[in-house]
Each structure stands twice: as structure tokens, then as C-alpha cells.
Amino acid sequence: MPRRVLTRTVRDSGRSFGGFAAYIVMIVAAIVSIYPSLGHNPSLTKLVQSYPGTLKAFIGFGGVVDYSTGIGYLGIELFSLMLPALLIAAGVMAAARAIAAEEEQQTLDLLLANPISRTRLLLEKAAALFVQLVLLAAVLFVALAVSTSLAGMDVTVAHLAAGAAAAALLALLFGMLALAVGAATGKRGLALAVAGGAAVAAYLANALCSLVGALAPLRQASPFYQYSVVDPLRHGLVFAHAAPLAVGALALVVVAAFAFNRRDLA
């Protein structure tokens, strides 16, 4: 059977994702364009070095705070927070809509009266989220590749692709969490709150636990840790850190399908 639900879902959220894509392009272009005037400034590097550890833990990326190179600049300004936050927002919002909004708007009854199983519906909605995030990551990658090349930054195209992929993978994980909560409860607001709250908590846990030695094991449970501990802009996508995010996303799809299959629709 053709993937009708997948294509319909991707098409219906085109406007929302188009908005996120445009925003990402603007942010990337703006941040990268001011690099030539900021990046090689030794006094700025010195200033940042003098920041307290707490602040550095928040703004740093890949374990370093480095304003003197293009890679370091991209990490601090874009990859430490801005880009993952945008991708997560796009993914979580779309995923919360996937099942829960259809249920709240009561279009789900009629949809599921068609010859399609709940599992299949859920898998196509999950696949739609994957496709949407891949498209968004592709836009991000192109924006990065074009703007860094215009600004003369010393970043390879492959590493930019790895960075975009890592951020999208992180967003996929939180998106699948929103999908699972939405599929299990039918409540869009709850799906948004749980997934959004988890993302904020994961970000804070990664930054704060890096400051306290005793909390280090807790830090490794944070998806943000797996995303950022090895800078993909320097080292590419590292399997050992990408795999937990991908496995987590898949596990959430399984949980979502299980919960969705077992309950009454509202």
C-alpha cells in the first residue's frame, strides 16, 4: 500500500516546516556573516576565557569554548543551543500534532475507519516526522555550507553535514517522545509539555552536571551530552554517541505503537 498517511502528513505540515526552514536560514546567515568581524578578535577570545565555569558550561560546545576558529564560533553561536532548539521545536510540534491533534479535533475516528491498522498509521506518522527532520537538516546543511564558504570559514562540508545530522537526530529523539506521549494519551498539550520539558531538562542536566564531578554519570544520561560531547564539526558523527539517540528514538516508536494499540480513542 502506498504511504498515503506519510505523504499527507508531510504535505499538511509544509507551511509550519517551511517557516522553521526560513528561520534557520536567516539565523545561520546572520550569525555566520558577522564572524569575519568577530572571530579573529583575540581580545574576545580572552574575554570568553575569563568567563566563570558555569557560563562556559552553557555556551561551550564539544567541551571547549573557542571563539578564535570558525568551528569554535559555529559551536558556540549555533550548535550549542540555537540550532538544536529550533530543530527540537519543529520536531516536537509536528509530532504532538501527529496523533494527538487528530484525536482532539476528532478526525482520527474517520481516518481509522479506513482499512489501515493503528500500528501502520503510527509508523507512517513517525516516518513523516523523520522525513520532515531530514528535509529540515538538509536546508540547515545547505545554509551552513553556503554561508561558511562565503565567510571563508575553515570547516569541511562533511563536518557541516555531520553537525546538521547530529542536531536533527537529537530533535528526532524528542520528537518521538512527543509522538509517544500523544499516541499514549491523545493529549497534544501534554505531549508538548513532556517533550519540551524533557528537552530543557536534558540541556540543563548536560550543562550543570559537567560542573559537579559527582553528577557526571547523570550527565551521560542526557541526550544533549551524547549530542555535544564530541563536536561533530571537528570529528564528524561518532557512532558511540549517535547510536544512543537513534536507539532511543526507535524505542520510543515501539512504545508509542504499543500504547496506541491498546487504548480507546477519545
Q: Does 19 bind other proteins (CB under 8 A)?
A: no
Contact 207, 58 (CB under 8 A): yes
User: Going by C-beta distance under 8 Å and a sequence separation of 6 or more, which residues neighbour residue 110?
Assistant: none
Choosing from 27, 116, 145, 208, the residue that interacts with other proteins (CB under 8 A) is: 116
Q: At its nearest, how many Å lie between other proteins and the CB of residue 195? A: 24
Q: Does 4 bind other proteins (CB under 8 A)?
A: yes
Q: Give the CB-side neighbour count of residue 210, counting CA atoms within 13 A.
A: 23
SS3 state at 210: coil
Q: Does 117 bind other proteins (CB under 8 A)?
A: yes
Choosing from 154, 213, 239, 264, the residue that interacts with other proteins (CB under 8 A) is: 264
Choosing from 42, 50, 113, 214, the residue that interacts with other proteins (CB under 8 A) is: 113
Nearer Cβ to other proteins (110/214): 110
What the block records as the C-alpha cell of 55 is 557560563
Contact 201, 88 (CB under 8 A): no
Choosing from 59, 81, 112, 259, the residue that interacts with other proteins (CB under 8 A) is: 112
Nearer Cβ to other proteins (3/40): 3
Nearest CA-CA partner of 19 in 71, 69, 75, 89: 89
The span from the CA of 209 to the CA of 199, in Å, is: 15
Q: Which residues bind other proteins (CB under 8 A)?
A: 1-2, 4-5, 8, 12, 105-107, 109-117, 120, 263-265
